[in-house]
Amino acid sequence: MTTPQLVASLSDSTSSSRRSKDTLFLTVLWASLLLALLTLAALVINTLISGASSLSWNFITFFPSPFPEDSGIQSALFGSLWVTLTSGVISLSLALGTAIYLEEFTNPDSRLQRFITVNIQTLAGVPSIVYGILGLAFVVRGPLGWGFTVGSAAATLTMMVLPLMIVTTREALKAVPSSLREGSYALGATRWQTVYRQVLPAARPGIATGSILGVSRALGESAPLILLGALAYVSYNPTGFDSDFTVLPLMIFKWATEVQDEYRGLAAAAIVVLLLLLFALNAVAIIIRDRSRIKW
């Protein structure tokens, strides 16, 4: 509607047609809202119904097995732990370095900053499967040749999560008021001293929340790892970075494609565990964010 039309309709005195349009509109909005809420409800309920019977302490401590009755997810849990923690640590370090460099040591609006920023935005928009291809070509085969191991998976997920981490750490650094920095300079500190002793500690909650977001993204990712050959039957926890592995989302994928009904329950139970883990991670992030709300 253009402004003249809007103004014209406002002086339109047939208020009942306006009101019925209003109600219709509101109904459409409620329907949209319901779509989202019902999806969430259906997801949760469907999963709980299928999976509740398979959930047990045994489910977490057992390993996958050709016999569904004593299958469990221990190797997938530890595999996920190894892969996501490693990629979280490495990508956080890289992201911090990049963010500090961009925020503290380059001029805003410089061509370098804009170039790197555009680059990172592009990377953030790349589908996750393409990172899988990158991992397959460079890390699994190609120059590094690490094969289908924990190391390859961690490297691939690091690359995938890095853009997100860079964005969130930059936001965290940006949120630190410049008065803090300027006070530090006034006292004679160098730029690096300022960053290291003032800015970073102040940005810590933001960085922590950002890294938890990155880790939960890595935890739930399945597409790139499909290409990294993690669909095998692996019934032991990773023994090192050169070990075979499996992760929770792939365990779910594998069990979801099995035809026997018992596996459907296992897949649903594994989904419950995955969702609980993600929920716990997010709760921690929220707690950190709320607890450290410093008043500037």
Partner 1 sequence: MTTISSAAVASLLPTGHVKKQRRIEKVVVGALALIASSGVIITVGIVFSLMQPTYKFFTERAISGYASDETFVGIEESGAGLRDSSDISFADESLIQYAEPVSLGDFFGSTAWYPQYEDGDFGVLPLIVGTLLVMLTATIVAVPAGIGIAFFLNQYAKERTRRVLKPLLEVLAGVPTVVFGFFALVFVGPYIAKNIWPFSDVGIYSGLAAGITVGLMILPMMATLADDAMAAVPNSLVEGAFALGATRREVCTGVILPAGLSGIMAAVIIALSRAIGETTIVLLAAGSQAVWTFNLGSEMQTMASYIGFAGIGDQPVDSKGYQTIFAVGLLLFIITFGLNMLSRKVVKRFREVYE
Partner 2 sequence: MTSFRKQLVRGIVATAVVASTLAVGAPVFAAKSGDKCEQRDAYKMAKVGTSYIRCEIVPGTSLHSADPKKKAAFKWKTLTGKTAEAQWVMSSAKNASIRIDGSSTVAPLATVAAKYFETATKSVNGKKGVKVAVGIAGTGGGFEKFCRGETDISNASRAIKSSEAAICAANGISFTEIPIANDGLALVVNKSNPIDCMTMAEVTKLWKTSTTAPTKWSDIRSSWPSTTIKLFGAGTDSGTFDAFGDLSGAGGKANLRKDASTSEDDNVTVRGVNGDVGGVGYFGLSYAIENADKVKTLKLDKGAGCVEPTIATVQGNTYPMSRPLFIYPKNSSLINNPAVGAFVNFFATNVKQISDDAIFVPLTDTQIKALTGALSKIAALPKKSG
**Residues between 16 and 35 with contacts to partner 2, criterion CB under 8 A:** none
Q: What does the per-residue mask of binding to partner 2 show for 91-130, with x meaning CB under 8 A?
A: ----------------------------------------
Residues 150-169 that bind partner 1 (CB under 8 A): 159, 162-163, 166
In 3D space, the residue among 61, 91, 86 whose CA is nearest the CA of residue 76 turns out to be 61
**Are the C-beta atoms of 296 and 177 separated by less than 8 Å?**
yes
**Binding segment (CB under 8 A) for partner 1, from list 65-73, 119-127, 201-209, 287-295:** 119-127
| Minimum CB–partner distance for residue 130 and partner 2 (Å) | 22
Residues 238-277 that bind partner 2 (CB under 8 A): 239, 243-244, 257-260
Query: Which whole-number Å values give the CA distances from 103 to 110, 114, 223, 284, in the listed order?
Result: 11, 12, 32, 27
By the rule CB under 8 A, 232 interacts with partner 2: yes
In the bound state with partner 1, the residue whose beta carbon lies nearer, of 75 and 181, is: 181
Among 94, 200, 231, 281, binds partner 2 (CB under 8 A): 231
| Minimum CB–partner distance for residue 295 and partner 1 (Å) | 21
| Minimum CB–partner distance for residue 237 and partner 1 (Å) | 21
Give, for 179, the enclosing helix (H) or strand (E): helix 178-186
By the rule CB under 8 A, 291 interacts with partner 2: yes
Give, for 128, the enclosing helix (H) or strand (E): helix 128-134
Q: From the list partner 2, partner 1, none, which binds 244 (C-beta under 5 to 8 Å, kind-based)?
A: partner 2
What DSSP line would sit under 11-71, residue for residue?
Answer: T---HHHHHHHHHHHHHHHHHHHHHHHHHHHHHHHHHHHHHGGG-SHHHHHS---SSGGG-
Among 53, 142, 145, 258, binds partner 1 (CB under 8 A): 142
Among 58, 61, 70, 126, binds partner 1 (CB under 8 A): 126
Residues 84, 214: Cα–Cα separation, whole Å: 9
Supply 295's token pair: 């008043």
Residue 184: strand, helix, or coil: helix
